[in-house]
Amino acid sequence: MESLVIKGGSSLKGQVKVSGAKNAILPIMAASLLSAGEVVLSGVPDLEDIKVMSDALTILGARIKREADSLVFDGRYIQSCELPENISRKMRASNLVMGALLARFGFAKIAYSGGCAIGSRPVDLHLKGFNNLGYKVYEKGGFMVGEGKPRMGREILLDFPSVGATENLIMAASTIPGITIIRNAAREPEIIDLQNFLNRMGAKIRGAGLDLIRIEGVKQFGGINHVVIPDRIEAGTFMIAAAITRGDVFIENVANEHIQPLAAKLREIGVEIMPTSTGLRVIGSRCLRPTDFKTMPYPGFPTDMQPQTMALLSTIKGTSVVVETIFENRYMHVPELRRMGAEIKVEGRVAIIKGKDQLEGASVEASDLRAGAALILAGLFAGGETRITNLRHIDRGYENIHLKLKSIGADIQRKL
Ligand code: UD1
């Protein structure tokens, strides 16, 4: 079985470059379905999730080719609006094609993406939102089916600022005549990137990044070139790699504003973070302090950085407390970190961490994407050898993370 083998203990030093944001690329790829022209996306890493989305779009009839770090998308030949179970089960984000298909063709049939390791992850907010926009959406034989051509924009309110629902509803509303207002929208930077992408294709959307988004429907979308924003979660993972190894790393291609929720917390515990015009220098001091945090929708502390930050707190003497408010089952990394000697107690959504100045390498398994990242980070700190298996989760969201970490001094190898 393929594994990552890490010999911990080296302080990381040097420069590492962040790739384009997976969570911006996936909705933007779905939004490409709106265009009957050629769309070129640049800054696209080679990730499993992106391959799954490419497969999904290809099944619908899109023609996609990769040229270096770009994806070239031709949506002229879309001939199907139905996504079968074998593809939608592979990735929850495949349900993002529903909004674009409804907006362009007035019909979509998507197999349920099913459960996921970090919680039940329902799509009720997406479905309620489509219905509130004026589409007719119902469940049939394991599929979500949507149809209709709403005649007028409406005002809708999300019960919770779901990232995926906000993105899906922006796309679904983009062709509805008149003005659609989405209240209590998610404010993540990836939603701003989606808005920018759509507007450059011809949409009329304002407000992404705020909790009220205003969409004026348009009839047609053209082709464009778009460079995706840097991945704030990959950047955050490298920030913690510098902190946990008490290293000194320059991280290139970072949007300083997007990493503020994490940077503020890391500064609080004593990590030095110095932004420059081209990136971010991060220095992990030897005397870091414990802390408490709660995951929240953006601009709160990102749930996608919770496991990695917990790995760091496990190496800082004193008691830290983490509250996970976004996903009900996002502590799958805890038993694995415990195998490495971490002292973490979980009660419901609360985790109490008694930090130590030593962890020991062990054989551990990545249960999901960010849990995998947390284990890599713990392995960089731990004495002895850490062997991580189930790499398919890590490959979903990190491009060659072992090579990037190796380039800044980590002793890490990918073995068959
Ligand atoms: C996106 C990100 C994911 C990140 C998450 C939260 C992508 C591809 N993925 O996921 O990496 O962890 O945002 O920042 O961008 N919920 C419902 N009903 C719904 C929709 C969501 O109850 O219809 C719940 C979810 O189960 C979860 C919470 O709302 O508990 C947040 O989910 P959401 O913001 O929708 O996350 P995703 O878009 O799935």
Residues marked active site are found at: 116
pLDDT at 254: 97
- Amino acid identity, residue 222? G
Residue nearest to atom 20 of ligand 1 (CA): 123
Pick the atom of ligand 1 nearest to 327's CA.
30
The low-confidence residues of the chain, meaning pLDDT below 70, are 114-120
Q: Token pair of 189, please?
A: 């930077």
CA 408 / ligand 1 centre spacing (Å): 33
For the entire predicted model, the pTM comes to 0.96
pLDDT at 201: 96
pLDDT at 150: 98
CA 326 / ligand 1 centre spacing (Å): 8
Residue 131 burial by Cβ neighbours in a 10 Å radius (0-12, 13-18, 19+): middle
Is residue 187 in contact with ligand 1, taking CB distance under 6 Å?
A: no
Pick the atom of ligand 1 nearest to 186's CA.
34
| Residue where the block lists tokens 């933007």 | 28
The helix/strand/coil state of 104 is: helix
CA 77 / ligand 1 centre spacing (Å): 31
Is residue 331 in contact with ligand 1, taking CB distance under 6 Å?
A: no
Q: What is the pLDDT of residues 85-119, one digit of tens each?
A: 999 888 888 899 999 999 999 999 999 875 455 56
CA 289 / ligand 1 centre spacing (Å): 31
Rounded to 5 degrees, φ, ψ at 350 are -105, 135
Pair 52, 216: CB distance under 8 Å: no
| Residue where the block lists tokens 């062997």 | 387
Is residue 303 in contact with ligand 1, taking CB distance under 6 Å?
A: yes
Residue 13 burial by Cβ neighbours in a 10 Å radius (0-12, 13-18, 19+): middle
Q: What is the pLDDT of residues 148-198, one digit of tens each?
A: 999 999 999 999 999 999 999 999 999 999 999 999 999 999 999 999 999
pLDDT at 402: 98
Ligand 1 pocket: which of 228, 326, 330 to mutate (most atoms within 8 A of CB):
326
Closest CA to 309 of 407, 377, 210, 381: 377
Rounded to 5 degrees, φ, ψ at 183 are -100, 155
Rounded to 5 degrees, φ, ψ at 141 are 50, 45
Strand partners, 252: 17, 279
d(CA 382, CA 358): 7
Closest CA to 246 of 10, 5, 405: 10
Ligand 1 pocket: which of 28, 48, 121 to mutate (most atoms within 8 A of CB):
121
pLDDT at 270: 97
pLDDT at 119: 62
Q: Token pair of 294, please?
A: 């709660």
pLDDT at 115: 46
Strand partners, 42: 70, 227
- Amino acid identity, residue 256? N
| Residue where the block lists tokens 């005002």 | 155
Q: How many CA atoms lie within 13 A of 250 on its CB side?
A: 7
CA 101 / ligand 1 centre spacing (Å): 20
pLDDT at 114: 57
Q: In what order do the strands lie in the sheet with 363-365?
A: 363-365, 385-389, 3-7, 411-415
